[in-house]
Amino acid sequence: MNQMAQSFYGWYKRTLEHPRYRWVLVVATLLYLLSPIDISPDFIPIIGWIDDAVVASIFVASISQIMLSGLTNRRTNLRSNNTQTSHTTVDVNPK
């Protein structure tokens, strides 16, 4: 069971990282969370909410990781662009 959960999490994370399939998986996840059809029905107290909680936590963790890596990449690109222009030396001859 643990191996199956890890393989699902790995597939979900890889698919979310792929830009082409990201929005399809986001919509599918939201539909699953809002749909009354689940792995375990929501009308069963606690047990019915566990699958939704697991899917929601994996979804939030993966999306936040993607957003943080995107922000880190942007900061790195901005810093590299700023360092290239800040090392320019201008020689001014006084008259």
Locate the domains of the chain by residue range. Answer: 7-81
The pLDDT score that the predictor gives to residue 1 is 66
Mean pLDDT, the chain cut into blocks of 10 residues (95 residues total): 83 85 88 82 80 87 87 82 62 72
Query: Phi/psi at 5 (nearest 5 deg)?
Result: -65, -40
The pLDDT score that the predictor gives to residue 23 is 86
The pLDDT score that the predictor gives to residue 37 is 79
The identity of residue 39, as a single letter, is I
The pLDDT score that the predictor gives to residue 45 is 80
Query: pTM value?
Result: 0.64
Distance of CA 52 to the CA centre of its chain: 18
The pLDDT score that the predictor gives to residue 62 is 86
